[in-house]
């Protein structure tokens, strides 16, 4: 098989949750440029339309699928309907997520529950809905977006850290259950990237200075630098990679 064939996504359809902006949008654009048809997802139809319009120049087929990834029934209905009307979803990227900072001793149970639903339940909901179809076909790719907080912690984000640790272990569980059906289930763990989710940190000179000193690469990541990892895990090149979390973090988890 040629190198182009190994990494080509031509003829495949990829659903990326939370893809109207930030990391999700960057991954959608990157997978489109690698040949995939794209299914954009989010709750805000206006933002989805804007994202779809901006991806038009990739030449890829762009679909929009508005649903709340935390709503199990809505996810199942949306995925089933898409498969019936448009064909198989061969790649699922579970990117939808949120952050909420605060002292652990004062963290409200309502905010904790919202983090659990958004960062973990969504991965279960969309992963299960797409996997049910993939299992019948005997192949499929599921890529969950984890974090350096899958293995590390920082003050004020303990609940977020708990959710991303769960994403890492759920990824292992997916691989354990579904690899025998021909699925590859892996995760990408971004380090600190300049995204809307991190806008407050990017704007904080003290934090940015700390991060640049703490990260061997000496800088914030650019969302485009996550695309290669996603293409690899979406393609034939990763046919025997399963249950793995690939850290894309400038070396921050490798260094004290």
Q: Are 40 and 51 in contact (CB under 8 A)?
A: yes
Q: Are 102 and 156 in contact (CB under 8 A)?
A: yes
Q: Are 140 and 92 in contact (CB under 8 A)?
A: yes
Q: CA distances (Å), 179 to each of 11, 136, 138, 185, in order?
A: 22, 13, 10, 8
Residues 6 or more apart whose CB falls under 8 angstroms from that of 156 comprise 101, 102, 103, 104
Instruction: Please report whether residue 99 resides in a domain.
Output: yes
138 Rama sector, left if φ>0, alpha if ψ -120 to 50, beta otherwise: left
Q: What pLDDT digit, counting tens, does each position of 79-91 carry?
A: 999 999 999 999 9
Question: 160 catalytic, yes or no?
Answer: yes
Instruction: Please report whether residue 253 resides in a domain.
Output: no
Helix (H, G, I), strand (E, B) or coil at 57: helix
Q: Are 97 and 18 in contact (CB under 8 A)?
A: yes
Token duo for residue 108: 């409200």
Round to whole Å and give the CA distance between 144 and 6. 21
Report the pLDDT value the prediction gives residue 4, as an integer from 0 to 100: 61
Instruction: Please report whether residue 127 resides in a domain.
Output: yes
Averaged over successive runs of 10 residues, the pLDDT of the chain (256 residues) comes to 76 97 96 98 96 93 97 98 98 96 97 98 98 98 98 96 98 98 98 89 95 97 97 98 98 96
**CATH code, domain carrying 100:** 3.40.50.720
**Which of 218, 211, 181, 230 lies closest to 26, judged by CA?**
230
Report the pLDDT value the prediction gives residue 48, as an integer from 0 to 100: 97
Report the pLDDT value the prediction gives residue 196, as an integer from 0 to 100: 81
Report the pLDDT value the prediction gives residue 107, as an integer from 0 to 100: 98
Instruction: Please report whether residue 255 resides in a domain.
Output: no
Q: Which domain holds residue 60?
A: 3-248
Domain count along the chain: 1
Instruction: Please report whether residue 107 resides in a domain.
Output: yes
What does residue 14 show for φ and ψ, rounded to 5 degrees? -120, 125
Token duo for residue 94: 């579970």
Residues 6 or more apart whose CB falls under 8 angstroms from that of 108 comprise none
State the CB neighbour count (10 A cutoff) for residue 56: 10
13-16 sheet: strands from edge to edge: 62-66, 37-42, 13-16, 91-94, 140-145, 183-190, 245-248
Choose the catalytic residue: 67, 160, 232, 247. 160
Q: What pLDDT digit, counting tens, does each position of 201-253 carry?
A: 999 999 999 999 999 999 999 999 999 999 999 999 999 999 999 999 999 99
Instruction: Please report whether residue 53 resides in a domain.
Output: yes
Round to whole Å and give the CA distance between 228 and 144. 15
Instruction: Please report whether residue 25 resides in a domain.
Output: yes
Report the pLDDT value the prediction gives residue 2, as an integer from 0 to 100: 43
Report the pLDDT value the prediction gives residue 5, as an integer from 0 to 100: 87
Report the pLDDT value the prediction gives residue 76, as an integer from 0 to 100: 98
Token duo for residue 193: 């990237």
Instruction: Please report whether residue 254 resides in a domain.
Output: no
């Amino acid at each position: 098989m040629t190198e182009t064939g190994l990494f080509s996504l031509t003829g495949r359809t990829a659903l990326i949750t939370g893809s109207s902006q930030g990391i999700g949008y960057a991954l959608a654009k990157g997978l489109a440029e690698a040949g995939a048809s794209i299914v954009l997802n989010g709750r805000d139809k206006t933002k989805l339309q804007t994202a779809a319009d901006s991806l038009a120049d990739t030449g890829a087929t762009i679909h929009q699928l508005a649903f709340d990834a935390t709503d199990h029934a809505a996810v199942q209905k949306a995925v089933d309907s898409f498969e019936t009307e448009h064909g198989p979803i061969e790649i699922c990227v579970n990117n939808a997520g949120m952050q909420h900072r605060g002292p652990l001793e004062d963290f409200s149970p309502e905010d904790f529950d919202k983090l659990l639903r958004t960062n973990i339940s969504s991965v279960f909901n969309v992963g299960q809905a797409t996997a049910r179809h993939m299992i019948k076909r005997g192949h499929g790719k599921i890529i969950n977006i984890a974090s350096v907080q899958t293995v590390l912690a920082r003050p004020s984000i303990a609940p977020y850290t708990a959710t991303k640790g769960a994403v890492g272990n759920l990824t292992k569980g997916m691989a354990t259950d579904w690899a025998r059906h021909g699925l590859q289930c892996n995760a990408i763990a971004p380090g600190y990237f300049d995204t809307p989710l991190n806008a407050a940190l990017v704007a904080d000179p003290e934090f940015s200075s700390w991060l640049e000193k703490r990260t061997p690469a000496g800088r914030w990541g650019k969302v485009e630098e996550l695309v290669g990892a996603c293409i690899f895990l979406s393609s034939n090149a990763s046919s025997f990679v399963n249950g793995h979390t690939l850290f894309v973090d400038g070396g921050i988890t490798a260094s004290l």
